[in-house]
Amino acid sequence: VGSVVFVGIGITLGVHLTQRAKNYIEQADVVFVAAADALVEKWVEGMNTDVRSLQVYYQEGVSRKVTYAQMQQAIMAEVKLGKNVCCALYGHPGVFALVSHKTIHQALIEGYHASMEPGISAEDCLYADLGIDPGTVGCAHFEASQFLFYKRVIDPTAYLILWQVGIVGDKSYKKLSTGHQHRELLVKLLSETYPLSHTLTLYEAPTLPVNKCRIEEVRLDELASAILNPATTIAIPPAQAFIENKEMTKLLSNLC
């Protein structure tokens, strides 16, 4: 029976890979790889004789929904041939990554072995590099476009992390980046909760160990003109202090 395992290779080349993920890559019959950098894919190619890049499915003008379905189909085709397939995705394979969850779901329904191994995600790097502990005041993560498309409840007393800001507002799922006007709408929405003078951090963890991370502070009213790359994640610190829940505090004080 064929199998599929999704492993994370982390963000920074060579230094984030777990021993277990490495074993899976080395022992698989077929390895599919999707990394943000061609050099990282080259590095994975050195670990197995049959490594296939998933980048070929990304085509200009093609909806990412189609691209992801094609990737899932290509992976499942090998599983159905009885192969032990490993998919090595950058970061954590299950964090802001649709193909892994959907493929595992399909494989399990169809009676194949399927699992996921965690990896170091951009989120993990962000906590380390920005010195943020999500436990201090809480921390919410949103995909930036989804954040615009739907009414979400923003908690200004917690951290807010926005992913995929480089393509914020892309309804077509085809764009590789969106423009100033899309970003202005993000600023408009955020300004309903945060003052325009509020400082946000634009964060990019390094893909290569020789590079430094990008930690750039901008005011909310500067965000639309800032450089937002495919790898940019925005961290927004709280703008308000906690408000005590007096009713709950009273109820708790009645307990022994």
Residues that are catalytic: 64, 68, 90
Place of tokens 């050195």: 46
Amino acid at site 21: A
Distance CA 66, CA 71 (A): 9
Q: How far is the CB of 66 from ligand SAM (least distance, A)?
A: 16
DSSP state of 10: B
- Choosing from 66, 230, 240, 251, the residue that interacts with ligand SAM (CB under 6 A) is 230
Q: How far is the CB of 241 from ligand SAM (least distance, A)?
A: 28
Output the CA torsion sign for 161, 163, 166, 167: negative
Distance CA 77, CA 80 (A): 5
Closest CA to 161 of 198, 134, 179, 195: 134
Distance CA 157, CA 200 (A): 14
- Choosing from 47, 95, 158, 168, the residue that interacts with ligand SAM (CB under 6 A) is 95
The yes or no reply on residue 203 touching ligand SAM (CB under 6 A) is yes
Residue count at the site for ligand SAM (CB under 6 A)? 20
Q: Which is nearer to ligand SAM, 84 or 201 (CB)?
A: 201
Pick out residues in 65-84 that bind ligand SAM (CB under 6 A): none
Binding site for ligand SAM (CB under 6 A): 11, 36, 90-92, 95-97, 121-122, 163-164, 166, 203-205, 207, 230-231, 233
